[in-house]
Amino acid sequence: MSTIFTKIINREIPAEILYETDNVISIIDIMPIHYGHALIIPKKEYKTFLDVPEAELKELLAVTQLIAKALVKTFKLEGFNFFSNNGEIAGQSVHHFHIHVTPRYPNDKVSFAHNLKKYNEGQMKEVADKIRANIS
């Protein structure tokens, strides 16, 4: 079964399309953090960031920057967030990789991080060593 985004790409369901290339589409998110919140989506149904071939990342990021610039210009933004939820535990609800770009405004109370942790002495190196061992 195809994802909701594939249905949008195939024009089976409507969406406000901001921009489109052969490989990437950008649409307005139906439930925005702020008006203009946009999604940048590869046309192929990759599940998460980890499934996107390296060769396709450049265009995805270029379109993300293009859309972010348009949002900044349109809403005269001082800042914006771009982010991606990967896996249900991280809040991904549509299992077709996508990048969110949302406007931010002063005192808008949008928050991504609560209860930030602290490292104990030596713990940061321990954690970094484990990660470094898995970079290939």
Which of these ranges, 29-37, 47-55, 67-75, 118-126, lies near ligand 5GP under the rule CB under 6 A?
29-37
Residue 28, burial from CB neighbour count under 10 angstroms (0-12, 13-18, 19+):
middle
Torsion of CA 103, 105, 110, 115, to 10 degrees: 120
Find the catalytic residue in 37, 96, 98, 100. 98
**Is position 114 annotated as part of the catalytic site?**
no
Residue 4 binds ligand 5GP, judged by CB under 6 A: yes
Q: Cα(106)–Cα(97) distance, rounded to whole angstroms?
A: 29
SS3 state at 79: strand
Nearer to ligand 5GP, 30 or 128 (CB): 30
Rounded CA separation 17/50 (Å): 25
Whether 109 and 71 have beta carbons less than 8 Å apart is answered as no
Query: Which residue lies nearer to ligand 5GP by CB, 31 or 131?
Result: 31
Told to check if 25 binds ligand 5GP by CB under 6 A, we report no
**Count of positions on this chain that bind ligand 5GP (CB under 6 A):** 13
Residue 57 or 94: the one with the smaller Cβ distance to ligand 5GP is 94
Determine if 85 is a binding residue for ligand 5GP (CB under 6 A): yes
Contact 126, 59 (CB under 8 A): no
Residue numbers of the site for ligand 5GP (CB under 6 A)?
4, 15, 27-31, 39, 85, 91-94
What is the set of active-site residues?
98
